């Protein structure tokens, strides 16, 4: 099950990176369109729109990155955050839905829960009998 947790973590990081890349592309495309027009009013409007839209995309991408990092490092909070993000990913049809179902299957598995319970604060692994 550890390999599945790693896969979910990597995919979350990938979604986060793709989200940040999309935010950058949207910003450059929208703001760049205003700059290319040469109209000061268009530059102002497109710059505001670019900041808002890319900001929203970034706000959704950062939790994916944090979740992926938490899962890869087997942080106890990573599993809970992963479940929340997986539920939100269900709305991203079709790829996000498929990934959300897989992530929920992995993160809600009894074996996964035991793996995360072994982790204590400070990174000390406690052996269970």
> Which residues are within 8 A (CB) of 76 and not within 5 positions of it... i.e. 6 or more apart?
116, 117, 119, 121
Confidence (pLDDT) at 115: 85
Confidence (pLDDT) at 122: 56
Confidence (pLDDT) at 129: 47
Assess whether pLDDT exceeds 50 at residue 12: yes
Assess whether pLDDT exceeds 60 at residue 10: yes
Give the percent of the chain with pLDDT over 70.
91
SS3 (DSSP) at 122: coil
How far apart are the C-alpha atoms of 63 and 40, rounded to whole Å?
A: 35
Assess whether pLDDT exceeds 80 at residue 119: no
Contact status, residue 106 vs residue 112, Cβ threshold 8 Å: yes
């Amino acid at each position: 099950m550890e390999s599945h947790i790693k896969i979910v973590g990597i995919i979350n990081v990938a979604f986060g990176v793709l989200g940040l890349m999309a935010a950058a592309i949207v910003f450059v495309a929208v703001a760049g369109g205003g700059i290319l027009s040469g109209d000061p009013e268009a530059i102002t409007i497109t710059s505001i729109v670019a900041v808002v839209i890319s900001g929203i995309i970034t706000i959704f991408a950062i939790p994916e990155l944090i979740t992926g990092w938490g899962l890869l490092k087997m942080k106890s909070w990573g599993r809970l955050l992963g479940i929340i993000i997986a539920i939100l990913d269900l709305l991203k049809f079709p790829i996000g839905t498929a990934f959300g179902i897989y992530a929920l299957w992995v993160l809600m598995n009894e074996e996964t829960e035991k793996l995360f319970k072994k982790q204590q604060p400070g990174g000390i692994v406690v052996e269970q009998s």
